[in-house]
Chains A and B, each alone.
Chain A
Amino acid sequence: MKNIRFLIIGLLFGIILSKSEVVSWYRIYEMFKFQSFHMYGIIGSAIFISIILMQLFKKGTIKNVDGNQITVKEKKKGIVRTLLGGIIFGLGWALSGICAGPIFVLLGHGSLPILVVLLGAILGAFLYGLISKKLPH
């Protein structure tokens, strides 16, 4: 089962997100209040190292497990969708302190109210799929 490796990678990711406290509502609040370097340090250093990785992928210095070039999927373009969608996401992120990954981390922490957030998030994705053709992108 090749997919087991992703279970293990996810498991590591869940531990990292827990130990770094990025799944804590308080840390998100503190970040948006500019009262701590913690979150900026995490996001900044993750991006910094990823930039180096991306360059090594592009140059072919690092190849994937099958020995092929690693490519990054192009993100969908559109100023309205990214900005407006981003703002909507940001409102939700700061309200409960949770973005997509942390929903699953906190589910693992055994917090029952998170089930409601997960339900909401699935509902939100469903709503987007329903009306996406009518939205400006």
Chain B
Amino acid sequence: MEFITQAWPWYVSGPSIAFILFLVFYYGKNFGVSTNLETFCTIGGAGKFSDYFKTDWKERKWSLFFVAGIVLGGFISHQFLMPSEAIALNPETIKELNQLGFEQAGKSYLPAEIFSLEQLGTVKGFLILLVSGILVGFGSRYAGGCTSGHTITGISSFQKPSMLATIGFFVGGLLMVWFLIPLIF
């Protein structure tokens, strides 16, 4: 039981993700999450604004179930499988984050400086969440996939676009963490 409730080490987590990829392919589909963002647009009637969204979303219905499952899995984890909020971060990371103003680094699962209702109520806090979402949604569709579709599925099947996209993910991520986050927070 302890194994279930404590945080999983990388050598359990990584292979488990590969097992999910296996299951999705075994049941005849391709592993990836970000296409659903387009599906939501199509269902919401985005086809009226651009032909890009005139697709048959019913073919991707399985993926909506997949996403609903992810939400449910998150709920179950949060309710029953995570007795502690603490994360065993590098002490150096904790020190740096404390200096940036992230007071609960290492003690909380998500930073209140970004994900609290107080922050959501401020213009800056709201914009951080919204803009980050827009970048993720826009970028993943422009690049043709996200971490699951490109970094895991694409790289493991030796696809060049996925390697380029993953290099891009890291360039963007490094820019944000090293240069922009110290300016934003």
Contacts and interface: CB of A to CB of B under 8 A. Distances in A.
A3 B141 contact: no
Interface string A112-127: 1110111111111111
Interface string B45-67: 01001101100000001110111
- Top 10 A-B pairs, shortest CB-CB distance: A86-B168, A14-B73, A120-B133, A10-B69, A90-B172, A108-B74, A124-B137, A92-B135, A89-B139, A45-B14
Contacts of A66: 28
Nearest to A20: B13
Dominant secondary structure at the B interface = helix
Interface residues of A, number: 117
A87 B106 contact: no
Contacts of A32: 170, 173-174, 176-178
Interface in A18-49: 18-33, 35-49
B83 to A, nearest CB: 12
Contacts of B148: 100-101
A77 B161 CA distance: 6
A22 to B, nearest CB: 7
Given A20-B10, A95-B181, A104-B67, 20 more contacts: A3-B65, A7-B69, A13-B69, A14-B73, A14-B74, A26-B89, A31-B173, A35-B90, A45-B10, A49-B18, A54-B156, A68-B28, A70-B28, A88-B135, A89-B139, A92-B132, A95-B131, A99-B146, A100-B148, A114-B115
B33 to A, nearest CB: 4
Which bucket holds chain B's interface residue count? Answer: 35 or more
B69 A9 contact: yes
Interface in B123-142: 125-126, 128-142
A71 to B, nearest CB: 9
B8 to A, nearest CB: 4
Nearest to A92: B135
A108 B144 contact: no
Contacts of B130: 116-117, 119-120, 123
| Residue among A79, A116, A133 with max Cβ neighbours from chain B (10 Å) | A116
Nearest to B156: A50
Nearest to B5: A19
Contacts of B143: 81-82, 84-86, 88-89
Given A86-B139, A92-B133, A124-B138, A46 B152 contact: yes
Contact of A44 (B14, B29, B168): B14
